[in-house]
Structure 1
Amino acid sequence: MSDLAHLDAVTALRAFRSLQLSPVELLDAVTAQAERVNGDRETGVNAFTETFAGEARALAEKAATAYLNAARDGTPTAPLLGVPVATKEKHTLAGRRIEQGLAAHAGRISGADHPVVERVRQAGGVVHARTTSPEFSCATVTHSPMWGVTRNPWNLSATPGGSSGGAGAALAAGMTTLATASDIAGSTRVPAAFTGTVGYKAPYGRIPGLLPLSADWYRGDGPMGRTVADTALLAAVLSGRHPADHASWGPHGVPVELPEDPVAAVRGVRVGLSVRLGDFAVDAEVADATLDVAARLEQAGATVVPVDLPWTPARVMRTVFAHFGQILGPAMERECGDVASLAPYAQRFIADARRAAQRDGLVESLALDAALQGELATAMAEVDVLLCPTNAVTALAADGDHLDGPNVGDRHLDHYWEGHLTSPFNVANRCPVLAVPSGAAGNGVPTGVQVVGHPLDEAGVFRVGAAVEALVPRARWPLASDGDAPSLRADRTPSR
């Protein structure tokens, strides 16, 4: 097995069970890769807030012994036994710091594991590192005064996205095998697209969260991986009812069944196609990659149906910020201490949310949500899934505050959040959404598509996502363990 650092989890587990590979070997590979490529907080990938080398190796050694025993006497093994997992810093670990990039939280210690961490550990996963995010996970880039700049392994001048940018960067760079993420406006899917990885936004409540903010119906915690199968595996481990989250639902540990022949499985599936989700400006390279995915699905036997949506960026922004003005914005103000001490992007978010709350109250916010949800339901009435881009732009600068929107073609965006087509599906948060790679732009940064399902139809998005993965050629992973250490690239500097 070449380049163990980029080995997928499903293959690794198969090799563990057959004793062809030890969990210690895999952990050593990703640890060595992280030491080689992570670099410093200003110019490197910089995807981890902290690592647990000693604790993780002890767990890997224990897993290796368990596989030896299982091979001898047939005892079953846990579903993630021995697999390295990096957890997003906001996912609390008992006895460890929980700071969320905020100076006001410096030194704060968690008293308990987050439900997703608890389930990773129960499943035998080896938590070996924690991943970076922007302050309070409120941006689609990943940098903060506390943790520095996290960069995209495919092009270090570009962001890996946010807020789960550290997770996407670590996966793409071979610094972990699986990662946890979260999503309130695209924070799993945006970095998945920018890093060529796979991210899943489950229906609201399918994966338990941590109260009180898990009660926010735009939110969701979830999995990221390098393949659809890996992401489905981690989703099964994380999903299901949990006593700490009364909104959680459904069975725990039951995987979505992926077809043996994913290309054949999309024959007859009706795929709705919307490149612009109404009137979003979309970069030509992103649009072409999305159309290419649709053409490949059609050639495989799917029926591709153009879908019209009456959405404008201004209306979507009004809808989501009306919501944020009621919950997330006030929560940030309460938690952050001195607003003036925050990163500029966090100050901008709080100011936007405050203005939105003055314009639209809670009842108006609910009406705005209901209108978008109804229009999506109407648009998808005759299709099985909706296909659209994840990001409208090909990249954003890694260290930018993005207080102004970028240019897309000859159109200037009012807000950089308009560069992502993700937040409408947090408004319609009962819909599962799988983000999968669609190709790469000329700057080397990957592009991605979203596969949006009907409410609670998880199997449908994984079926189509697996077909997209099988049909779209994938480039060799960046920063392979037998290559050179990374350095900043000057070609095609991303938008600021």
Structure 2
Amino acid sequence: MAGTHDEVLSLSATAALAEFRAGTLAPSDLLRATVARIEAVNGDRVSGINAFTETMFETASAAAAAADDAYVLARRDGSHTPALLGIPVATKEKHGIAGHTLEQGLAACRGEIAESNHPVVDRVLAAGGIIHARTTSPEFSCATVTHSAAWGITRNPWNLAASPGGSSGGAGAALASGMTTLATASDIAGSTRVPAGFTGTVGYKAPFGRIPGMPPLAADWYRGDGPMARTVADTALLAGVMSGRHPLDHGSWGPHGIRPDAAQATGPEAVAGLRIGLDLTLGDYPVAPSIRANTERVARLLEAAGAEIVPVSLPWSTEQISRTIFAHFGHILGPAMAALTAGTEAQLAPYTRQFIADAAAAAANVSLPESLALDAAVQKDLAHAMSGIDALLTPTQAVEMLAADGNYLDGIDVTDAEGGVWHLGHYWEGHMTSPFNIANRCPVLAVPSGMSGVGVPTGVQIVGHPFDEGMVFRVGAAIEALGAGTP
């Protein structure tokens, strides 16, 4: 393929792999274009996009040259090539790489070196992916904005005043600006889907345990690691590489190397005859008018393609969901963070101190068994609402944007579809993702739905029945093929 750097960077991973196999593009060509884009647009840690904690261009260049040779050999003798051979992959900093820093943005972890690779890093490398950069996150991945004293402010390529979301904000920003082809992410309350929604990219929260994590917090049943990309097919490609049993995570399950869309039809016709639930507010979330309109447009396109759109009204409130998740965090993540950062509290970001305090307060009032009962109530509501439908469609976010440098210690004001202004006590209530971490056996795919009035993308979530990964990719591929997310 002859073309400019922009033309090369516009290729999906799936298309680039086809070019590699045909000999019309070399992995080193794609990497050179990617590095040039990073050098041109990433900028500084104050006013730039600032998506990376570290670049690894030297080792990436050597890996790309080796991939070039491997494709030459494969074309000569028909040998097999690994699933991601030659594709640039940016990994989230928390996904440790042996011999590299593993600081998670915290002063308490400054200078810490990873002794081994995170399981998803092992799998990316085994599949021939080229890790050329590591992406930013907020401290300990505990915010839905991405800024820290360690790494500065990460900004949204679509609107530099806005955050790309978090905690996988660097991943979303890098994908949206063409600085990587694929990216790894993680999700405990929306940390994959929120940045996907705000950056016009695709993010997948797999069922709990489907993608292996790093002990001991891999055992937290709200969390999970996952893929981000610019297309649904690329997200499925990386999900297949990351998924499956791993000896380091005894909660991991299922076969490795199987794409979640492997047995699914693709294209708009794939949704014909499906019953897809539509819930615009998940109870009382005050959804911004542009987000509501874009979600309704996605539903109309699915209906025109032959799906039956079924109105759904979940009985939740933002207060109920916030109480439920913070009771959970108060017994697991909050104490882990407090122990890790003991003695360095003065150096924590305001959002981190607030998270630890909110989690502790919730745990003081709700025991762990009571927390499990709160979880069960949400799960029961969702199971009832999804009875008789194949998947649920809902917005990813209720708010159009978050400020790139925001801390939101006093909550957030949101304007609903009727023009009313709501004050939410916690800014996490501006995202519609955490109910599906409570119901974490449900797969959820976040895909673009259009553009908001403030120049920031919007997104929708496709929620499947427990463990039904194929369905969310089937619907997501149809939404993409229908052009629903085109800004």
TM-score by length of 1: 0.95
1:362 to 2:368 alignment? yes
What residue is the counterpart of 2:118 in the other structure?
114
What residue is the counterpart of 1:29 in the other structure?
33
Say how many residue pairs are matched.
476
1:295 to 2:306 alignment? no
What residue is the counterpart of 2:275 in the other structure?
270
1:423 to 2:428 alignment? no
Q: Which of 411, 416, 428 is 2:422 aligned to? A: 411
What residue is the counterpart of 2:322 in the other structure?
317
Deviates further, 28-37 or 333-342: 333-342
Whole-angstrom distance in 2 between the partners of 1:363 and 1:304 = 37
Whole-angstrom distance in 2 between the partners of 1:126 and 1:254 = 20
Check whether the contact 2:448–2:486 (CA below 8 A) recurs between aligned residues: no
- Secondary structure in 2 matching 1:438: strand
Whole-angstrom distance in 1 between the partners of 2:167 and 2:211 = 18
Displacement of 1:262 after TM fit?
A: 1.4
Whole-angstrom distance in 1 between the partners of 2:485 and 2:21 = 28
1:442 to 2:453 alignment? yes
Q: How does 1:55-454 map to 2 (within 5 A)?
A: 55-255=59-259, 256-257=261-262, 259=264, 261-337=266-342, 338-409=344-415, 410-454=421-465
Q: Which amino acid aligns with 2:97?
A: L
Gaps of 5+ in 1: 477-496
Displacement of 1:65 after TM fit?
A: 0.3
Whole-angstrom distance in 2 between the partners of 1:157 and 1:198 = 22
- Secondary structure in 2 matching 1:86: strand
Whole-angstrom distance in 2 between the partners of 1:335 and 1:356 = 19
- Secondary structure in 2 matching 1:169: helix
Gaps of 5+ in 2: 416-420
Whole-angstrom distance in 1 between the partners of 2:277 and 2:209 = 26
Q: Which of 43, 51, 66 is 1:39 aligned to? A: 43
Whole-angstrom distance in 2 between the partners of 1:24 and 1:269 = 43
Deviates further, 260-269 or 288-297: 260-269
Displacement of 1:257 after TM fit?
A: 2.1
Whole-angstrom distance in 1 between the partners of 2:293 and 2:263 = 27
What residue is the counterpart of 2:23 in the other structure?
19
Displacement of 1:415 after TM fit?
A: 1.1
Displacement of 1:408 after TM fit?
A: 1.6
Displacement of 1:59 after TM fit?
A: 0.1
Deviations 1:154-199 (A, max 9, x none): 0000000000000000000000000000000000000000000000
Whole-angstrom distance in 1 between the partners of 2:265 and 2:361 = 51
- Secondary structure in 1 matching 2:404: coil
Whole-angstrom distance in 1 between the partners of 2:334 and 2:233 = 35
Q: After the TM superposition, list the runs of 4 or more consecutive aligned residues in structure 1 that deviate by more than 6 angstroms.
A: none
Q: How does 1:454-465 map to 2 (within 5 A)?
A: 454-465=465-476
What residue is the counterpart of 1:467 in the other structure?
478
Whole-angstrom distance in 1 between the partners of 2:265 and 2:299 = 21
Deviations 1:284-313 (A, max 9, x none): 110011011001100100000011111000
Q: Which amino acid aligns with 1:457?
A: D
Displacement of 1:474 after TM fit?
A: 4.7
Check whether the contact 2:264–2:470 (CA below 8 A) recurs between aligned residues: no
Whole-angstrom distance in 1 between the partners of 2:396 and 2:461 = 5
Whole-angstrom distance in 2 between the partners of 1:305 and 1:60 = 48
Whole-angstrom distance in 2 between the partners of 1:124 and 1:86 = 13
TM-score by length of 2: 0.97
Deviations 1:62-104 (A, max 9, x none): 0000000000010010000000000000000000000000011
Check whether the contact 2:448–2:484 (CA below 8 A) recurs between aligned residues: no
What residue is the counterpart of 1:481 in the other structure?
none
Check whether the contact 2:144–2:165 (CA below 8 A) recurs between aligned residues: yes
Q: Which amino acid aligns with 2:49?
A: V
Q: Which amino acid aligns with 1:435?
A: A
- Secondary structure in 1 matching 2:137: coil
RMSD: 1.0
Displacement of 1:406 after TM fit?
A: 2.1
Whole-angstrom distance in 2 between the partners of 1:307 and 1:330 = 37
Identity %: 64
